[in-house]
Amino acid sequence: MAIQTRPQAGGATAAPPELAITAHDLVKTYRGGIRALDGLSLAVEAGTIFALLGPNGAGKSTTVRILTTLARPDAGSARVAGYDVVAQPDRVRRAIGYVSQKSAVDPEATGRENLTLQGRIYGLRGRELRQRVAELLERMGLADAADRVAGTYSGGMQRKLDILMGLIHRPRVLFLDEPTTGLDPEARAELWAEIARLAREEHLTVLLTTHYLEEADRLAHRLAIVDRGRTVVEGTPEQLKGELQGHTIRIELAAAVAEPRIQAALAPLPGLREVSLRDGAIYARADSGGAAIPAVLAALEASGVPVAAATVARPSLDDVYLRYVGRALDAATGKETGR
C-alpha cells in the first residue's frame, strides 16, 4: 500500500511516516473452502490507534491472528514492529501485546496475581515486576481491588485487567480484538477513555477490531472498513465522513410500508439520493437536508405513507459503511442488515 507524502516548504519532501504494521494481499482459506481473507491490505502508522471495522465474519479476527503469529497466511505478507510475521514470529511476539475476545483472566487469582504471573512469563522479576504491576493497577483504577479475586470483578473491571495483562511487558504494538463486546454502555465508554489514555501515555500503536461504529469514531485515528476479507476503504473517520456531501435524512414511519411504494413516492424529488428503507425508517441523502424535508414529507403524505418523525444529521460512519459496503451494520449484534 503506497503512502503518499506531501511536499514541504522549499520543495523538500516529507519523510514517509514510520509504519508499525503492514499487510499486503493477505489470503486465508479455512476448511470447507471458507475464504476469511481475500487479498486484505493495510498500513498502520506507529503511535496511532487504528480500527478494523466490519461485521462478524468479515475477516477482522483472522487478520489479527495472522498479525499476532497465531495463524499463517496462505498468501501475502505482513510485518509488525518491523518483523516479518512468518519469518520472525518470536521477535513479533516479544514486541506485541494481544488481548483476545475471550478473557485470559484467571477468576480464582487476584488482579495482582494475574498481572504478576503474566509478567513472569515475559521474564520480569523482582522489584521491576512489582513496580510495573503496581503502576498499571493504579493507572487503570484497579489498585483498590488488586488483592480481590478477579472472579468478583465486574465485566468492565475484568476487561481492564485483560488489557493490563497485554501491557505488562511494555509492548510496542497492542492488539485488541473486540475489546468492549458484552459491556454495558457506561463500562464501554469508560474503557474507551482508558484505551485512548493508555495509548497516549505508553506511546503505543493500537490495532483494535470492532463492529461498534461509535467505538471506531471515538477511538481511531484511522480506520479500515473490512468486508468479505478485503479492505474496502481506509482513512480517518472525519475524512471518510467528509467525503459524503450534504446531510442524512431519516424519516421514522408510523406503520410498515413496502419499499417500492416509498421509492415511487420519492423518486420525482430532485436532489434526493440513496433512498433506502431500514428497520422501519427511510434514509436518504440531500445536499441540504433542511430544505429537502418539507418536499419529502409532502410526497410521503400524498402517497399515504404514515410518518412518525423526521430528523436531519451530518454524515456518520453508518452512512460511510452503507455507501461502501451497500449494507448497514447493526452495532448491537455485529451483523449486517439489508439496504
Strands 328-330 and 335-337: antiparallel
Residue 28, C-beta contacts closer than 8 angstroms, at least 6 positions apart: 35, 36, 37, 59, 62, 66, 71, 73, 74, 229
- pLDDT band at 91, cuts 50/70/90? very high
User: Is the pLDDT confidence value at 332 over 50?
Assistant: no
Alpha carbon of 17 to those of 49, 119, 216, 308: distances in Å? 14, 31, 22, 50
> Are 294 and 284 contacting, i.e. CB atoms less than 8 angstroms apart?
no
Task: Report pLDDT digits (tens) over 214-236.
Answer: 999 999 999 999 999 999 999 99
pLDDT surpassing 60 at residue 200: yes
pLDDT at 320 over 70: yes
The gap between the terminal CA atoms of the chain, to the nearest Å, is: 30
pLDDT of residue 16: 67
Find the angle CA(228)-CA(233)-CA(238) to the nearest 5 degrees.
135
245-314: which CATH topology? Answer: Alpha-Beta Plaits (3.30.70)
| Whole-model pTM over 0.75 | yes
Between 96 and 13, residue with greater pLDDT: 96
- Average pLDDT (233-247) is 91
pLDDT given for residue 220 in this prediction = 96
Local structure of residue 14 (DSSP, 8 states): P
List pLDDT tens digits, range 121-138.
999 999 999 999 999 999
In the chain, the percentage of residues whose pLDDT exceeds 70 is: 91
Q: Which residues contact 3 (CB under 8 A, 6 or more apart)?
A: 16, 17, 19, 43
Give the per-residue pLDDT at 12. 52
pLDDT of 261: 95
Confidence category of residue 278, pLDDT binned at 50, 70, 90: confident
b/e string for 125-141 if b means 16 or more Cβ within 10 A? eeeebeebbeebbebbe
Out of 102-116, 198-212, 267-281, give the one with best mean pLDDT.
102-116
Name the grid cell of 113: 496475581
Which pLDDT band holds residue 335 (cuts at 50, 70, 90)?
low
Q: How far apart, in whole angstroms, are the C-alpha atoms of residue 14 and residue 5? A: 6
Q: For the chain, which residues make up each domain, given as ranges?
A: 17-240, 245-314
Strand order from edge to edge, sheet including 34-45: 34-45, 19-30, 75-80, 83-84
Give the pLDDT of residue 274: 87
> Given pLDDT bands bounded at 50, 70 and 90, which one contains residue 100?
very high
Q: Is the pLDDT of residue 331 over 60?
A: no
Report whether pLDDT(4) > 90: no
Are the C-beta atoms of residues 51 and 215 closer than 8 Å to each other? yes
| Domain 17-240: CATH superfamily, name plus number | P-loop containing nucleotide triphosphate hydrolases (3.40.50.300)
